[in-house]
Amino acid sequence: MTASTFAPGLVVRGFMPPLALSDFKLIAFDMDSTLINIECIDEIADAVGKKAEVAAITEATMRGEIRDFKESLTRRVALLQGVPVAALQQVYDDRLRLNPGASELVAACKAAGLKVLLVSGGFTFFANRVRDRLGIDFARSNLLDEADGLLTGRVVPQAWGDICDGAEKRRTLLEVASLLGATPAQCIAVGDGANDLPMMSEAGLSVAYHAKPKVREQAMVSIETGGLDRLLELLRH
């Protein structure tokens, strides 16, 4: 697909704006570095002096150099063994911020009648708080195991499976769309890393936000400067 610059820092591929926001029924967001400004796992690792080690794995995974997200996450979570659970609240309070335009984009989507899904390879501790803060309808993410106030370095299997990776993000998008009576074409998917590509490839509109090159090149919309609400420049609402 040929890319064209719609406006400075806003690149579109394969369609002519504007689209009607009300033609869509679901918008799905990745969380870390998409809806929020940090990679939570990197910041938790900082509590035990392992941020550089964990961040290097995170970065390689998001660039698509480590193909197996489950293996990547398992390796990174193992490095968190012994981190006090209290450190999660500290990361949330001190470091986690919504990315610019997140509130505005979610509010506009809800006003247009869309349901909102947060689907993350990050953790329930953060995803559920971000869900509640933004009034998001559905959230799926990974659950960190803990014992005696410390992280064990493991992820707890949940009813839907063990780890929310790219395949699970795709499956969740399709499952929620089905529950809403929506087709994949009526979905928008927003992400920044390689494990967002499976759900982005299913959606009628795929959006890369300040994303890795591999993701920008495959998305129908690439927001390269400014906030998430720049998507609204391409949508009638």
Read off the pLDDT of residues 146-203 as tens digits, 9 standing for 90 and up: 999 999 999 999 999 999 999 999 999 999 999 999 999 999 999 999 999 999 999 9
**C-alpha–C-alpha distance, residues 63 and 140, integer Å:** 22
* pLDDT tens digits, one per residue of 114-127: 999 999 999 999 99
Q: Residue 237: is its pLDDT beyond 90?
A: no
Per residue in 197-235, pLDDT (tens digit) is: 999 999 999 999 999 999 999 999 999 999 999 999 999
What CATH number has the domain bearing residue 23?
A: 3.40.50.1000
User: Where in the sequence is the domain holding 131, given as residue range(s)?
Assistant: 3-36+98-236
Residue for token pair 């080690």: 53
Q: Mind listing the pLDDT tens digit for each residue in 27-75?
A: 999 999 999 999 999 999 998 899 999 999 999 999 899 889 999 999 9
Q: Is residue 49 part of a domain?
A: no
Annotated catalytic residue, options 32, 46, 192, 196: 32
Q: What's the structural domain count of the chain?
A: 1
Query: How far are the Cα atoms of 15, 91, 169 from residue 154, in angstroms, in the given order?
Result: 43, 19, 20
Tell me the two tokens of residue 75: 């390796």
User: Is 154 contained in some domain?
Assistant: yes
Is residue 5 within 8 Å of 93, Cβ to Cβ?
Answer: no
- Residue 152 domain-assigned (yes or no): yes
Tell me whether residue 44 is in a domain. Answer: no
Please give the Cα distance from 16 to 182 (Å, whole number): 22
Question: Does 54 reside within a domain?
Answer: no
Q: In this structure, what token pair is assigned to residue 59?
A: 């970065």
- Cβ within 8 Å of residue 229, ≥6 positions away: 100, 101, 102, 104, 105, 108
Assign 14 a pLDDT band (cuts: 50, 70, 90).
Answer: very high
Residues 6+ apart with CB under 8 A from 110: 116, 135
Within-domain flag for 124: yes
165 catalytic residue (yes or no): no
d(CA 151, CA 144): 7
Q: How far is CA 222 from the centre of its chain?
A: 15
Helix (H) or strand (E) holding 70: helix 69-78
How much is the pTM? Answer: 0.97
Mark whether 32 is an active-site residue.
yes
* Position 142 confidence tier, pLDDT thresholds 50, 70, 90: very high
Catalytic residue, candidates 23, 30, 42, 94: 30
Give yes or no for a contact between 92 and 124, defined as CB atoms under 8 angstroms apart. no
Strands 26-29 and 187-191: parallel
Residue 27, in any domain of the structure: yes
Across the chain, the runs of DSSP E, i.e. the strands, are 3-7, 10-13, 19-20, 26-29, 115-123, 138-147, 150-156, 187-191, 205-209, 221-223, 235-236
Would you give the DSSP letter of residue 181? Answer: T
Whether 169 is in a domain gets the answer yes
pLDDT of 1 higher than 80: no
